[in-house]
Amino acid sequence: MTNSFKVFILFMLAGISPALAQTWELGVTAGGFGYMGDLNQNNFHQINHPAFGGMVKRNFDSYWALKLELISGKISADESKSPYQQERDRNLSFYSPLTELSLQLEFNFFDYGFEYHQVHFTPYLYSGISLAAFNPKTNYDGRTYELKYYNTEGQTNSYQTTTYSIPVGAGVKFNFGQYFNIAAHAGFRNTSTDYLDDVSGYYADPTQLIGNSPENTALRIALADRSQYKIGVPGTQRGDFRKKDSYVFVGITLSYTFVSQKCPF
């Protein structure tokens, strides 16, 4: 190998060495969940419960990153407080813990980083895949009931209380103190279930709500139709007929970047 070729190889390696810098981030997230579904058909921007979590991120370069994030919080809706008479008449309600684990790919619009030649602010987009666990409950006559066990729409089998989605969102991030970052972001999740709220299709026929005892049957019928005047005629609409429920997460993340420079020579 000639000396000139060696010099060329060293020059090329020196040119790509910044791309070999491994930058990892660890961070904490605080924000809120908002639910959209059969019991909230109109207020699509309602964030009514806090959510908290943490994340680890691998920055491949100043434009692309891969983030693993865990967030836990709560979603709910109560039609007795609705501004719409039809919803108040129906009078259904639920609340559910919600825990999401997601893997997200981020794209920064600018050459973002902590080096002197890089910008310290950028808008960004993200998408990926998430898995969420939920468990709709309601309070009735002073007691709390896990609704999945009561098959309130006459289902033969209980629905699954895990759901997946493709999170889609955007945000802005700032670098300060060299290795610290703060990001404000919002994202939408259209889930694979229509039972985040235990409401989906039609009012069940009472014969579909027969339980293992007269008390259990009466409870299932009461939970299926919470209206004062029992408007739940069997076969009529109980849900909004949209195929899936959704939720949003709006939050702020504070993170620290760990840098390890791997030199190839």
Which of 7-11, 92-96, 178-182 is predicted with the least confidence, judged by mean pLDDT?
Answer: 7-11
Q: In this structure, what token pair is assigned to residue 9? A: 């190889």
Has residue 262 got a pLDDT over 70?
no
**pTM for this prediction:** 0.86
Has residue 15 got a pLDDT over 90?
no
C-alpha atoms less than 13 angstroms from C-alpha of 69 in its C-beta half-sphere:
33
In this prediction, residues 51-78 reach a mean pLDDT of 96
**What's the mean pLDDT when you consider all of the chain?**
89
What would you measure as the largest C-alpha separation in the chain, in angstroms? 93
Where are the chain's structural domains?
20-134+162-195+242-260
Has residue 11 got a pLDDT over 80?
no
- Chain length of the chain: 265
User: Which architecture does CATH list for 20-134+162-195+242-260?
Assistant: Beta Barrel (2.40)
| Burial of residue 105, with CB atoms counted within 10 A of its CB: 0-12 exposed, 13-18 middle, 19 or more buried | middle
Q: Residue 112 carries which DSSP code?
A: B
Position 226, amino acid:
R
Query: β-strand 64-78 against 180-190: which pairing, if any?
Result: unpaired
- The pLDDT of residue 116: 84
Query: H/E element holding 15?
Result: helix 3-16
Which of 4-8, 181-185, 254-258 is predicted with the least confidence, judged by mean pLDDT?
Answer: 4-8
